[in-house]
Homo-oligomer: A and B are copies of this chain.
């Protein structure tokens, strides 16, 4: 970490900083320029003391040179992490997996029917929400544990692993019991106790970036999970909030190469939420594959206009089937594979 003192700093100002560095157990390295004195703070994880130096009135600027996260970083682990979901499905390898299903689990039959549709089109992981984070307390909140039973049942019947969102520590236990992957949603990306709970159970975790979460913060949130001993974390970009209102969110595809450079964790993309307009989901899914996604999440509903949530962005079965073939072509063009 590099601490730049204000112009005209005196010997006692320098001493105050170097003393503090020593108190924290680090080594100072002083470098006097013509106008500015710069002090390096040398040692691992100096970055966590950034604020303590910014709080000093004699300090002009503190800049990080090491990443504030460790286990999530590419420096810590050079090769890509491959997250095994089931015997033959792993995320982060050559194959791109498409995670598909309805936004919310609505009833038992619909879940099985949708599962059959998405599997026959080539999707390998089944999604569906049992606990729904809805901005209005009056909107449909999900079927709860009953929904988890339905998705588990559908997944078992057609041999697909499953993913569903947990919004509380208690739900983490339930989703972990019923499903193959535990999803942490965008609104909970900085719900630290939830992250810790996800890190303490054994199933892989799909961690969605929040609408205003920076790439650095997303990796710090992943670090919360990793630091509890669960190394199977899949990152997910699903659109950030910007000034543009023509689309529901703004997909930040820049984040894909940047995340892959900074971290060894696989990256999955959710164009359904990311653009939020059914007729454009397919186009964005292709862009996601080209950008290097290890997986794509797509909402599919046999009758979107009857869906209890997120209807405007769900694909119809035929749209999805055609899209899968198109995605496969793009995957091959970038040296990956998608359909078998």
Contact = CB atoms under 8 A, between A and B. Distances in A.
Nearest to A49: B139
A31 B29 contact: yes
A167 interface: yes
Among A42, A290, A314, A333, the most chain B Cβ lie within 10 Å of the Cβ of A290
Contacts of A288: 287
Interface stretch (A93-101, A145-153, A213-221): A213-221
B40 A38 contact: yes
Given A191-B188, A244-B240, A137 B287 contact: no
A306 B52 CA distance: 6
Interface string A186-220: 01101111000000000000000011101111001
B243 A256 contact: no
Interface stretch (A79-87, A117-125, A275-283): A275-283
A107 interface: no
Contacts of A224: 137
A275 to B, nearest CB: 5
Contacts of A68: 135-136, 138
A168 B169 contact: yes
A9 interface: no
Given A55-B304, A55-B311, A193-B168, A246 B330 contact: no
A133 B190 contact: yes
A30 to B, nearest CB: 9
Give how many copies assemble into the complex: 4
Given A240-B244, A242-B250, A40 B35 contact: no
A292 B280 CA distance: 11
A113 interface: no
Contacts of A306: 52
A22 interface: no
A41 to B, nearest CB: 9
A59 to B, nearest CB: 9
A167 B191 CA distance: 7
A309 B188 CA distance: 22
Interface in A284-321: 284, 286-292, 304-307, 309-312, 314
Given A31-B38, A61-B63, A284 B312 contact: no
A319 to B, nearest CB: 11
A256 B244 contact: no
A254 interface: yes
Given A31-B40, A52-B305, A284-B257, A212 B243 contact: yes
24 contacts: A2-B4, A2-B38, A29-B31, A31-B38, A38-B38, A38-B65, A45-B138, A48-B136, A51-B310, A51-B312, A52-B306, A52-B311, A61-B63, A69-B136, A133-B192, A135-B220, A167-B191, A214-B245, A249-B254, A250-B250, A254-B284, A261-B279, A290-B291, A329-B334
Nearest 4 pairs of A and B residues by beta carbon: A55-B311, A212-B212, A290-B290, A333-B333
